[in-house]
């Protein structure tokens, strides 16, 4: 083994000792881990509909969008998504990660300042690193702190960057308050609506819809890899913003276009979101059932909606309870640092529209039993 590989092996050992080593495993057990909130991926009809839709599309060439990679289906999907999000235009990236990094690095510069929620996703954090702007890490959802920071004078532009529905906490950003503050102080608001799209809002268009701030953000990012059961990242905003990103966003320009199979899946998923409000009603009800069943057993989970965090503290406690769930047939995963802060390891239970009351009750009993047995 070379010196470098030996060093990497040692670093892996250190992760192992801290209960932080990960490995890739095949899914086993009932899915309480993925972001298939609407139960589309688990619905056999979804795959059939995607295959049929794919056959109706022209094949997209394997090329960057600005070369031969743009098909009529890309443009149609982007127009449809813009309408869905109540925006002038939208742009599809291969992943939500690329969308966030590509957006932030393109529109924010070294003279600017970003106010970034302390629990923002890694892709937002890395996008701000690439932007090389000044960054103020904001206490989670604390409007007063945002107000105070915005009142501090800054020579460049200020951007408020936040998730809407936080992916590890199930908490909701105070979007209306942030939009008011941003407007009052001439700042721009960027909202990552990844985990809310398809789940919240009367039309399923996310928390940006539900909290009435459509049209008040510079950009809203959604992902295809969560409730829409596919993949991809979508930025919705003004036509001029999208045109600008097409020209200068490196994560868009220098990558291969999203393939037709993903376009078909996103299109079918949007059909479901538009035609089946019962899926989002059910997932919210099911999440309430699990929270209630856990609460009855003395386990109170923060947040709202389909991301149900069971706070356990140490990595080992989280791993032990996750293992107990897995042995009982529930695919529940432990979330550990650096995904969450040290000492805040947890189960991240992800509720789906097809979860039944009896299995939610059984899962709550399994979790409570495992927590009771912890040393």
Ligand X SMILES: Cc1ncc(COP(=O)(O)O)c(C=O)c1O
Q: Which of 53, 121, 279, 280 binds ligand X (CB under 6 A)?
A: 121
* Residue 350 Cβ vs ligand X, minimum distance, rounded to whole Å: 11
Q: Which of 36, 163, 210, 320 binds ligand X (CB under 6 A)?
A: 163
Task: Let me know: does 283 contact 38? Beta carbons within 8 Å.
Answer: yes
Nearer to ligand X by Cβ, of 147 and 174: the residue is 174
Q: Which of 95, 158, 197, 344 binds ligand X (CB under 6 A)?
A: 95
* Cα–Cα dist 82/60, whole Å: 21
* Residue 164 Cβ vs ligand X, minimum distance, rounded to whole Å: 9
* Cα–Cα dist 33/44, whole Å: 19
* Residue 37 in contact with ligand X, rule: CB under 6 A: no
* Residue 138 in contact with ligand X, rule: CB under 6 A: no
Q: Which of 225, 305, 306, 309 binds ligand X (CB under 6 A)?
A: 225
Task: Let me know: does 357 contact 289? Beta carbons within 8 Å.
Answer: yes
Nearer to ligand X by Cβ, of 95 and 171: the residue is 95
Both tokens assigned to 336: 């550990």
* Residue 184 Cβ vs ligand X, minimum distance, rounded to whole Å: 26
* Residue 169 in contact with ligand X, rule: CB under 6 A: no
Task: Enumerate residues 171-210 that contact ligand X by CB under 6 A.
Answer: 192, 194-195
Please state the three-class secondary structure of 275-323 as a single string. HCHHHHHHHHHHHHHHHHHHHHCCCCCCCCCCEEEEEEECHHHHHHHHH
| Per-residue CA distances from 222 to 144, 174, 178, 219, 347 (Å) | 27, 18, 19, 10, 24
Q: Which residue has the tokens 């996750």?
A: 322
Both tokens assigned to 87: 């925006």
CB burial of residue 198 (10 Å; 0-12, 13-18, 19+): buried
* Residue 233 in contact with ligand X, rule: CB under 6 A: yes
Nearer to ligand X by Cβ, of 225 and 237: the residue is 225
**Whether 167 is catalytic:** yes
CB burial of residue 362 (10 Å; 0-12, 13-18, 19+): middle
* Residue 170 in contact with ligand X, rule: CB under 6 A: no
Task: Let me know: does 214 contact 204? Beta carbons within 8 Å.
Answer: no
Nearer to ligand X by Cβ, of 84 and 165: the residue is 165
2-5, long-range: CB < 8 A, 24+ apart: none
Question: How many residues of this chain interact with ligand X, rule: CB under 6 A?
Answer: 14
* Residue 252 in contact with ligand X, rule: CB under 6 A: no
* Cα–Cα dist 6/189, whole Å: 45
* Cα–Cα dist 294/162, whole Å: 29
Q: Which of 74, 195, 272, 355 is catalytic?
A: 195
Where on the phi/psi map is residue 356: left (φ > 0), alpha (ψ -120 to 50), or beta? beta
Q: Which of 85, 121, 135, 226 is catalytic?
A: 226
Chain position whose Cβ is nearest to ligand X: 96
Q: Three-class SS of residue 167?
A: coil
* Residue 356 Cβ vs ligand X, minimum distance, rounded to whole Å: 26
Q: Which of 116, 162, 167, 326 binds ligand X (CB under 6 A)?
A: 167
Nearer to ligand X by Cβ, of 141 and 233: the residue is 233
Closest CA relative to residue 127, chosen from 91, 156, 163: 163
* Residue 116 in contact with ligand X, rule: CB under 6 A: no
Applying CB under 6 A, which part among 24-32, 96-104, 243-251, 351-359 lies near ligand X? 96-104
Q: Which of 97, 146, 200, 330 binds ligand X (CB under 6 A)?
A: 97
* Residue 96 in contact with ligand X, rule: CB under 6 A: yes
**Whether 226 is catalytic:** yes
Nearer to ligand X by Cβ, of 113 and 121: the residue is 121
* Residue 305 in contact with ligand X, rule: CB under 6 A: no
Q: Which of 167, 171, 222, 249 is catalytic?
A: 167
* Residue 224 Cβ vs ligand X, minimum distance, rounded to whole Å: 7
Known catalytic residues are 167, 195, 226
Contact positions toward ligand X, by CB under 6 A? Answer: 95-97, 100, 121, 123, 163, 167, 192, 194-195, 223, 225, 233
């Amino acid at each position: 083994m070379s010196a470098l590989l030996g060093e990497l092996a040692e670093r892996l050992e250190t992760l192992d000792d801290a209960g932080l080593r990960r490995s890739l495993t095949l899914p086993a057990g009932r899915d309480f881990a993925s972001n298939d909130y609407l139960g589309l991926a688990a619905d056999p009809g979804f795959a059939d509909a995607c295959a049929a839709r794919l056959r109706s599309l022209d094949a997209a060439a394997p090329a960057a969008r600005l070369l031969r990679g743009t098909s009529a289906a890309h443009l149609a999907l982007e127009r449809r998504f813009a309408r869905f999000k109540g925006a002038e235009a939208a742009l599809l990236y291969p992943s939500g990660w690329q969308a966030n990094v590509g957006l932030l690095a393109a529109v924010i510069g070294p003279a600017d300042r970003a106010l970034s929620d302390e629990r923002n996703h890694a892709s937002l954090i890395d996008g701000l690193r690439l932007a090389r702007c000044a960054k103020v890490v904001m206490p989670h959802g604390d409007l007063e702190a945002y107000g105070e920071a915005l009142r501090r004078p800054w020579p460049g532009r200020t951007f408020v960057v936040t998730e809407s529905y936080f992916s590890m906490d199930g908490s909701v950003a105070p979007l209306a308050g942030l939009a008011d503050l941003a407007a009052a102080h001439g700042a721009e608001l960027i909202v990552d609506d990844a985990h809310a799209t398809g789940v919240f809002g009367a039309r399923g268009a996310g928390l940006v819809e539900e909290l009435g701030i459509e049209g008040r953000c510079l950009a809203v990012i959604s992902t295809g890899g969560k409730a829409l059961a596919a993949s991809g990242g979508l930025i919705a905003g003004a036509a001029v913003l999208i045109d600008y990103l097409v020209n200068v966003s490196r994560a868009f320009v220098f990558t291969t276009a999203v393939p037709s199979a993903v376009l078909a899946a996103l299109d079918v998923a949007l059909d479901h979101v538009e035609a089946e409000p019962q899926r989002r009603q059910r997932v919210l009800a099911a999440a309430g059932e699990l929270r209630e069943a856990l609460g009855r057993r003395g386990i109170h989970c923060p947040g709202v909606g389909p991301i149900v965090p069971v706070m356990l503290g140490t990595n080992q406690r989280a791993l032990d309870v996750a293992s107990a769930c897995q042995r009982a047939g529930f695919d529940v995963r432990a979330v550990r640092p650096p995904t969450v802060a040290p000492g805040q390891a947890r189960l991240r239970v992800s509720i789906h529209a097809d979860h039944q009351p009896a299995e939610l009750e059984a899962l709550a009993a399994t979790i409570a039993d495992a927590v009771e047995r912890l040393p």
